[in-house]
Amino acid sequence: MSKFIAVPAMLIGAITLATCTNAAAPGAADSNQTPALGSPVSESRLADFDLIIAADGTGLPAGSGTADLGETIYRSRCQACHGENAEGRGSAAALAGGSMQSEGPPLRTVGSYWPYATTVFDFIRRAMPADAPKSLSDEEVYQVTAYVLFLNGLVSRNQVLDRDSLPAIVMPNRGGFIDQSRIQ
Amino acid sequence: MTHRESLHKAAGNGLIHRRHLLGLGLGGLGVAAAGQVLGADQAMAFELPAWSRRPGPGPSRYGQRSPHTDHIGRLAGDPNPLYPGGGASRSPLHLLQGTITPNSLHFERHHAGVPAIDPAGHRLVINGMVRQPLAFSYEDLLAYPMVSRIHFLECSGNSGTLLGASPVDGTAQSIHGLVSGAEWTGIRLADLLAEAGVLEGASWVSAVGADGASMGRSIPLTKILDDVLVALYQNGEPLRPEQGYPMRLFVPGWEGNTSVKWLTHLKLGTAPSQFRDETSKYTDTLPDRSSLQFTFPMGCKSVITSPSGQMALVRRGLYQVTGIAWSGAGTIRRVEVSADGGASWADALLESHQSEKALTRFRIPWDWQGQDAILLSRAIDDRGNVQPDRNTILAERGNLSTYHYHGMQSWAVGTDGNVRNVYV
């Protein structure tokens, strides 16, 4: 690797900086010269590291699952916190029900509020179950995602979810958000 | 003329002109303060104290605070088995001064607790729409040119309880303690992106942390290139674990959640990733049931930290009303204070050094003679933003969501001297 000798950087941070600033662009009169120490990696080596699922489904792994299979996982891995009918308990949010058009304050859940079904897979895979995050296989994440969507009436019990069918689900509140990012 | 009459009134119900804090009227203030303790000097012993009669312990490897100040702490909820490691702790705003929060007292918000990261095993990966995906070690990054910036950090849920139907019996800490100020030192993310080579068309950067929740947020590339840092130091020392050690994103002025802690992954693309924490959470539902998404800068805001909720005024006379103001859009230019519930206002004295997207300390003298009062503060920034009152915010957006609340805080002072949170 074209790195500088591994001297504890804590000790020599400033020195390294002084001697290496030309590594990136020799002679460039740029005040932002950096030592260019990043190691090149290929996207294929990042397959397990990169957890991001785009809203169009890019990044969804191989595998598939149905709500029928997901129910078993829900009962053993999720129910203790989220409740028997996914009604929620304290900070373990309700995972089903609610309506944005309800008379009182709306109960906002995956079914009533979330704009994209891909986010359900993405979030469960990265963060749930909260007591053992990342302990489910991709196959199991597809299954329990299907079960959560089934509880919200968005898929049938035996509908197969995979990298093609999951992003195709149209969530009820898909059009309910106003993007503020351009008016900052 | 008594000293009190010589003080220049600045607004109703006892507010005194801020110039009395600038040395001009300090004589008057001094007399007032001395007057309060005249009775006390009889009781005071003027023998040399015991600590002046023996040497104390010598220098130490790591400093500790006085045992007489160890009541100053963050306010954290109880551990919650349903949410392992999750939750928040709040800064004791009412017990601090200046504008820099000590690292041990900076607020926290975690989604899966504080990961125990060995920096030797931590990587920062940049991939997606770049010419060459790159991985950086902590040691690599320590060798990069760094900049230091003083900024506030505020959780977008801060103060949201004030949208509730009835005012909570709270303190400046319990209501507003999800804001802190610090000097952050790190690498301009623009420099690291230049090394990877941003591809034409990239417009969003997704940032992910290495905590159990792998918390992710999407940030527009324009902001990233403007002033976002990969921060490695806070107030001069390496980040504390609860603030993201070994590295965090720091996004000046924007809702705290975007400053992703334990930063391990940055991915460039053409759209936001629609993470759970930018769809299900940190979005604001309006009365018409549409919801605002990607509301990034924190509003122009201030809060009086003393006197404040659950404090008690124990003597009549001059008090210093003080607090902090900040704006995610720019620099605080002016803070006005009212002691009569908003009927009249006086300009507070601002600390001489105001910087962009940073806490600004304000002060104004106030003469309390046992009367009812309602103290309010109102911040104004250099972009012309004026802190709204609670009713204006309620009328504009209702209270179906409680993120991004920056309305005025009103503290009522009773004739008994007790201070409490009220709505006006």
CATH of the domain at B132: 3.90.420.10
* CB-based contact, A98 to chain B, within 8 Å: no
Q: Look-up: residue for tokens 């106030």?
A: B366
- What does the pLDDT read at residue B211? 98
The helix (run of H) or strand (run of E) holding residue B224 is helix B221-227
Domain termination residue (choose one: B261, B292, B323)? B292
Q: How do the domains of chain A map onto residue ranges?
A: 1-39, 64-176
Q: Is the backbone of residue B357 left (phi > 0), alpha (psi -120 to 50) or beta?
A: left
Q: What is the largest CA-CA distance in chain B?
A: 78
Contacts of B224 in chain A (CB under 8 A): none
- What does the pLDDT read at residue A14? 37
Percent of chain A with pLDDT over 90: 80
Same domain, B259 and B317: no
- What does the pLDDT read at residue A4? 38
Residue B73 inside a domain? The answer is: no
Give the architecture (CATH level 2) of A64-176. Answer: Orthogonal Bundle (1.10)
- What does the pLDDT read at residue B365? 97
Look at B267 and A52 and tell me if their CB atoms are within 8 Å: yes
Same domain, B212 and B330: no
Q: What is the pTM of this model?
A: 0.92
Residue B165 inside a domain? The answer is: yes
Residues B290 and A34: their CA atoms lie apart, in Å, by 45
DSSP assignments along A30-68, one per residue = -TT-----PEE--GGGGTTT-----TT-TTPPS-EE-HH
Residue B156 inside a domain? The answer is: yes
What average pLDDT does the segment A62-78 reach?
98
Domain membership of residue B123 as a residue range: 110-292
Residue B307: asked if its preceding bond is cis (omega within 30°), the reply is yes
Question: Over the stretch B65-110, which tens digit does the pLDDT of each residue have?
Answer: 999 999 999 999 999 999 999 999 999 999 999 999 999 999 999 9
**Is B18 in a helix, a strand, or coil?**
helix
Burial class from Cβ neighbours inside 10 Å (0-12, 13-18, 19+) for residue B52 reads exposed
Look at B279 and A119 and tell me if their CB atoms are within 8 Å: yes
Q: Give me A163's structure tokens.
A: 């990298």
Look at A92 and B82 and tell me if their CB atoms are within 8 Å: yes
Same domain, B339 and B281: no
Same domain, B271 and B162: yes
**Cβ-nearest to B265 among A16, A50, A134:** A50
Helix A138-151 × helix A118-127 angle, to 10°: 130
CB B388 within 8 A of CB B406: yes
Q: What is the CB neighbour count within 10 angstroms for residue A107?
A: 18
- What does the pLDDT read at residue B81? 96
Q: What is the CB neighbour count within 10 angstroms for residue B27?
A: 12
CB B211 within 8 A of CB B113: yes
Question: Residue A16 — pLDDT band, cuts 50, 70, 90?
Answer: very low
Residue B357 inside a domain? The answer is: yes
Residue B6 inside a domain? The answer is: no
Residues 101-160 of chain A with CB under 8 A from chain B are: 101, 105-106, 108, 110, 113-116, 118-119, 122-123, 126-127, 130-131, 133-134
DSSP assignments along B121-177, one per residue = G-EEEEEESBSS-EEEEHHHHHTS--EEEEEEEE-TTTTGGGGSSS-----HHHHH-
Domain termination residue (choose one: B292, B322, B343)? B292
Residue B64 inside a domain? The answer is: no
Q: Which residues lie closer than 8 Å to B154 by C-beta, 6 or more apart?
A: B178, B179, B180, B255, B256, B298, B326, B328
- What does the pLDDT read at residue A19? 36
CB B38 within 8 A of CB B317: no
Note every long-range contact of B234-241, with CB atoms under 8 Å and residues 24 or more positions apart, other chains counting.
B234/B103, B234/B106, B234/B182, B234/B183, B234/B184, B234/B185, B235/B100, B235/B102, B235/B103, B235/B182, B235/B183, B236/B183, B236/B185, B237/B103, B240/B103, B240/B104, B240/B106, B241/B114, B241/B115, B241/B116, B241/B117
Same domain, B175 and B231: yes
The helix (run of H) or strand (run of E) holding residue A146 is helix A138-151
- What does the pLDDT read at residue A33? 82
**Is A141 in a helix, a strand, or coil?**
helix
Look at B274 and A41 and tell me if their CB atoms are within 8 Å: no
Residue B396 to chain A, least CA–CA distance (Å): 15
Residues B417 and B424: their CA atoms lie apart, in Å, by 19
**Is A13 in a helix, a strand, or coil?**
helix
pLDDT at A2 over 50: no
**Beta bridge pairs of residue B229:** B188, B250
**Is B411 in a helix, a strand, or coil?**
strand
Q: What is the ipTM of this complex?
A: 0.93
Look at B216 and A52 and tell me if their CB atoms are within 8 Å: yes
pLDDT at A18 over 70: no
Measured in degrees and rounded to the nearest 5, phi and psi for residue A15 equal -70, -45
Look at A52 and B206 and tell me if their CB atoms are within 8 Å: yes
**Cβ-nearest to A91 among B82, B134, B212:** B82
Domain termination residue (choose one: B292, B325, B360)? B292
- What does the pLDDT read at residue B402? 95
Look at B139 and A6 and tell me if their CB atoms are within 8 Å: yes
* CB-based contact, B190 to chain A, within 8 Å: yes
Burial class from Cβ neighbours inside 10 Å (0-12, 13-18, 19+) for residue A26 reads exposed
Same domain, B246 and B202: yes
Q: Look-up: residue for tokens 């490691």?
A: B85
Residue B62 inside a domain? The answer is: no
Q: Can you list the residues of chain B whose pLDDT is less than 50?
A: 1, 24-38
Same domain, B245 and B394: no
Residues B248 and B230: their CA atoms lie apart, in Å, by 6
pLDDT at A26 over 90: no
> Domain tally for chain B?
2
* CB-based contact, A35 to chain B, within 8 Å: yes
CB B198 within 8 A of CB B268: yes
CB B258 within 8 A of CB B249: yes
Residue B47 inside a domain? The answer is: no
pLDDT at A127 over 60: yes
Residues in chain B: 424
Same domain, B330 and B381: yes
CATH of the domain at B368: 2.60.40.650
Look at A101 and B196 and tell me if their CB atoms are within 8 Å: no
Same domain, B344 and B275: no
Q: Give me A14's structure tokens.
A: 């400033």
Q: Give me B138's structure tokens.
A: 């902590």
Residue A137 CA, distance from chain mean position? 14
- What does the pLDDT read at residue B17? 92
Closest by CA position to A123, among listed B294, B249, B281: B281
Same domain, B258 and B313: no
Same domain, B137 and B239: yes
**Is B376 in a helix, a strand, or coil?**
strand
Q: Which amino acid is at B304?
A: I
